[in-house]
Amino acid sequence: MAEDARGVSLQMKMLIGFVVGLTLGLVAYMTQPGAPWVDAITTYVTGPIGQIFLRLLFMLVIPLLFSALVVGIAEMGDIRSLKRVGIKTLLFTIGISAVAVVIALSVVNIFRPGDGVDPLLAQSLLADARAGAGAIISKGAEMPSGVAAVLAIIPTNIVTASADNDILAVMFFALVFGIGLLLVNTRQAQALQDAIEGMFHVTMRLIGIVIRLAPIAIACFMFNLAAVFGWELLIRLGAYVGVVLLALGIHMIVVYSLALRFLGGVSPLWFFRQLWHWRSSPDLASASPCRSS
């Protein structure tokens, strides 16, 4: 758990930001609902701060994704290793993702967290969210389907794909570029790989810095929601968050544990214990993945 010099963890700071933003927003909603100063704060102060935080994160997604995939593929050593690991990874990803979709749909249809929300309010929130997302992600043409969707994965211009935040196209280019580095065994190619790995380290460092702004951003987000919509929407959002956490918990504890045991031959207790220890010490070389619980 990351802590600063005073021993306050980042998670605790986020919780404090959540409580402060929620409290101030509810006070504003209950004492002066719809007041001009509340609208001014959400429009010119808390809203822009939240958007700045999101923009900084989105700004770093493409370089992080590209560098991580390229370096990961280039360090496989040879094409045969890439083929063996790649096929297994693809099958595992498809299977686990399919199970995740089934769990998510089942939990949502059982608990139905959106029931009771005013349809007009829901449409207003969707419109606001769409406008906010459009400010971060470039607005392009309609999403293709069928064969066109498959062809769209292959970018004709990687610069344009990056500018449009086309994640699948960037991932495909990174895959091809990493294979190219894997096939070229020259000093210049190794220097390029080292430079891309340096990009990965720099991007990770910058993300760590941006994440430190999360408590302030969370406080701003909560103030906006509470000051504008009050308790009713917050209760519905709380139900939605609870459903999401339940689905994630089932997927993490049940699905991943079964996959670790029967597909990986690893004790789930050992894996999660080592994952917890890694937070404070990334050196797991002395641990044996075959150890039983």
* Residue in the structure block whose two tokens are 């089934």: 102
* CA 242/CA 226 separation, integer angstroms: 18
pTM over 0.75: no
Task: Report mean pLDDT in 10-residue bins for the chain, 293 residues.
Answer: 62 93 91 84 92 93 92 78 74 87 92 73 60 49 68 88 86 90 89 94 94 94 87 79 92 90 86 75 44 44
* pLDDT score of 126: 60
* Residue in the structure block whose two tokens are 């951003």: 217
| Assigned CATH topology for domain 10-132+148-278 | Proton glutamate symport protein (1.10.3860)
* pLDDT score of 87: 78
What residue segments make up the domains of the chain, in order of their start? 10-132+148-278
In the chain, % helix, strand, coil (3-state, to 5) comes to 75, 0, 20
The answer for residues whose C-beta is within 8 angstroms of residue 172's C-beta and 6 or more apart is 153, 154, 155
291 contacts 269 by C-beta, under 8 angstroms:
no
Long-range pairs, 10-17, Cβ under 8 A, ≥24: 10/211, 10/212, 10/214, 10/215, 13/214, 13/215, 14/214, 14/215, 14/218, 16/215, 17/214, 17/215, 17/216, 17/217, 17/218, 17/219, 17/222
* CA 39/CA 280 separation, integer angstroms: 43
* CA 54/CA 257 separation, integer angstroms: 33
Cβ burial, residue 266 (10 Å; 0-12/13-18/19+): buried
* pLDDT score of 196: 95
